[in-house]
Structure 1
Amino acid sequence: MTENWPICGREVHLHGGLLAINEPQSNVITLWPNTLCGKRCEIEIPTYGKICTGIKSLGIEIVGLEFITHESEAIGESPTQWRTYSDQQKIWPNWDATQLWSQIGNASFKHKDGICYDLSKRISYQLTSLNLRLKDLSLSYRDQLNALNIKSNPNHGQRFQDGFTDTVYQKFHSFLFDSCICAITYLSLFTIILGKAR
């Protein structure tokens, strides 16, 4: 069943700090952490491309996917490929927008439009930065979940604070900061474009 699948491991970051793991060339997805009873939750998917559909069938929202395509990525010698997920027609809007702005920058360079080149490359960079900030935030929240003593059976919705709380807030702050920079750069570019149109 999986003989035509790419040799690619996937770690799906889920809301609440959960993780879904799909080993290379396996149709089984394993959720982390185990249940309060110590049981492992596994689901099977019919095709490689159905990973998001399979996870969403459990009622869990997806934050992003980490693709592990080479041994060097698996052992930490090189970074994994991370993409923010969106439940829309285009599931990789950040990736698509980053590529588009990079192409606009290249076209601007060929047309010798220095300002448009500079701003479009900045937007492309900021979108990449936002993508990584969301991954950092997800990993920090996962660390906090991992440190939480699940066996103490905390009350649902109960607030708590531990050694990871400040890190989660800092990662969230970094994400918001980069979001604002990206928005300001967008506005600068559109102001310039509107000024040229007049």
Structure 2
Amino acid sequence: MLIQSAEMTAAPGRSSEIGPLTAGIRDFLSAETGREWWSWAVLAGRPFGTYMLTSRADGYTDLVAGQVALATSADWAKLTGSAAGVLNQPAETYLNEVIAVTGEPAPPKQFLTITRATMAGGDIGATLAWSTQVMEHVTKITGNSGNVSMSAAGRFFDVFWASGVDTAEELDAAMQTINGDAEYVEMVSAAGAAGMFVDGLAERAILVKMP
């Protein structure tokens, strides 16, 4: 499975416009590509006024079919043109390949936590195995399903961990459980000691799904 996404940040003074624009793009993409898209407001971890769009594709054939439909759509050209001046720069796009799913597969929940890190090289197989193991452990102690993915385009060797919950209370509970779990702390410390990831490049964003 592939995860396709785009990140958009409002230009100064245009934050009130980017939310409705993102929701409109989401609805258009869902209708035009034949795949469901979701829109998100970033609560923390990215610049103020950042929104994201995400979708899942079965593979490259599915992905390309949707992109071809957009490339030939006059309505899409008109819609993207309406973003002129609203965004601080062209939307940054991502394409990730899912390498592991933990818990029960399900559509994205209301709140999504995404952690991103860049592999340092070395034993990539061991790093990916650790990446899956730590996600499995988080699912075990929180009960929340998640997935691990790797960049398939753009900056290579990036690993993403994503996990979702339905309510803010569940988000609080999950964070408290993770931060207080000794085994989780030990796993993260072991990854640091082994030099699995590039220092200073790890980041986390918390997203809320838009209606």
Give the TM-score taking structure 1 as reference length: 0.29
Bigger Cα Rg? 1
Whichever structure has more helix as a proportion of its residues is: 1
Whichever structure has more strand as a proportion of its residues is: 2
Give the TM-score taking structure 2 as reference length: 0.28
